[in-house]
Every structure is written in structure tokens, then in C-alpha cells.
Amino acid sequence: EAGVVQSPRYKIIEKKQPVAFWCNPISGHNTLYWYLQNLGQGPELLIRYENEEAVDDSQLPKDRFSAERLKGVDSTLKIQPAELGDSAVYLCASSRLEGEQFFGPGTRLTVL
Amino acid sequence: SQQGEEDPQALSIQEGENATMNCSYKTSINNLQWYRQNSGRGLVHLILIRSNEREKHSGRLRVTLDTSKKSSSLLITASRAADTASYFCATEGGSNYKLTFGKGTLLTVNP
């Protein structure tokens, strides 16, 4: 089966600019996750979707971050405006429900 | 916030040797999972052990779980250069299926 697809793989922007990341989960996976991974750290959950519903967004900085999952398939994570501290790898993962999560390759964001 | 904490932070061994990594966590869990991340790539699921299990095997991997000590270990036997990667433990607890990752152990297997 095809894996989780993310784009772009790399993004370099100036601070205060907006940026968006896209994720296409594995077909049939109802649960979708966005994680942030800083260098030398493990991933930290930003938001989890069950179909179209965001069931856990407690770690999402809502003043500048937003996410959507229209039709319960693809998802987009947006940052507006980006800050220097947002430089990190943004990972998308999907799963059926509990248990194993399948991760995409991530988007490496650099904010200058 | 990180729930799990891996030990050691970095491990360097020779090909053919065994590698053992440990993970400690703080709160009760439903299951504990181990993931591998190669440089510049996404995470790959290795093995899941449920809270009522004590040991699990998968190929060259052996995972143990001690819920009384809130700790787990991952053993990789007969290591290969291709095993060079960062290894993360992740705990899933509560009813929301949330995975909380540790900071990882960087394993280097020298040929």
C-alpha cells in the first residue's frame, strides 16, 4: 500500500510569512496526526483528527497555527505568521485507530 | 511534554554485537511502542507491546515491559550497519490513543 505522502519536503521562508503543509494519509486510515519534531527530540503531537473532527488540538498554538481535514482525507497545516522558533520538521501520520502509526517523510521548515 | 525517556542518549557498537536501549515513563499506559528513524527520514514502527504483556519478539528485536517499574527495553541482536538510526519509545495511555514520544537513543553500528 502507498505510504503517507507529505509535501513539500523542504520549505525555507522569511519570518512573518505564511506557510502551509499538506498530507495525504494511507487509504482507509480514519485517524490523522500532525507532529512537530525539533532537532534531537522526539515528535510532539500538535493535532489529531478522527475523520473530519479534530479530537485533540490541545498542543496546537492556535494564535498562529491552524489545520483542517476536509472530507476526512487530506489535511493541511498552516502557520501564519511564521516565527524563527517554528523551524522544525513537521510530520504527518495516520492510523486505523489505536496502535501502530504510519509516518510520512516530513516537511523540514526553515524560518529565516 | 515528553513522557518517555530513553537511555542511553547515544550508543556506539560494532557490527554483530547486541544493542540494548531502555525507556522509562511516568504514567500508566495502554501500550508502549518502539520506532526507528533514519537520518532525514520519517519514523518506522518496530514493535508494540501491550500493558498486560511482559516480552515480545520480532525478528532480531526483543522488547520487555515492566509496568511496576514503568520501564521498557529494546534489544537488537546481531546488529548490522543498517541498524544505525535513532530509536524512540512512545507510550499510549488513556482513552484518546495519544502517543507520547521520548527523546530517543542514537545508535551507531560500526562496520
Neighbours of A53 (CB within 10 A): 9
* Alpha helix segments (H runs only) across chain A: none
Q: Nearest CA of chain A to the CA of B94: how many Å? A: 11
Higher pLDDT, A70 or B51: B51
Using the Cβ of A85 and the Cβ atoms of chain B, whether some distance falls under 8 Å is answered with: no
**B27-38 tens-digit pLDDT:** 889 999 999 999
Q: Which of A20-34, B11-25, B94-108 has the lowest mean pLDDT?
A: B94-108
pLDDT(B22) > 60: yes
Chain position carrying cell 529565516: A112
Average pLDDT over residues A35-61: 92
* Predicted confidence band of residue A1 (pLDDT cuts 50, 70, 90): low
Chain position carrying cell 494564535: A63
Using the Cβ of A91 and the Cβ atoms of chain B, whether some distance falls under 8 Å is answered with: yes
Between chains, do A106 and B45 touch, taking CB under 8 Å as contact? no
Question: Which helix H or strand E contains B42, and what residues bound it?
Answer: none
Phi, psi of A22 (to 5 degrees): -120, 145
Q: In what order do the strands lie in the sheet with B55-58?
A: B5-7, B19-24, B71-76, B61-66, B55-58
pLDDT for B80 equals: 96
Average pLDDT, chain B: 92
Using the Cβ of A106 and the Cβ atoms of chain B, whether some distance falls under 8 Å is answered with: yes
pLDDT(B87) > 60: yes
Q: Nearest CA of chain B to the CA of A98: how many Å? A: 6
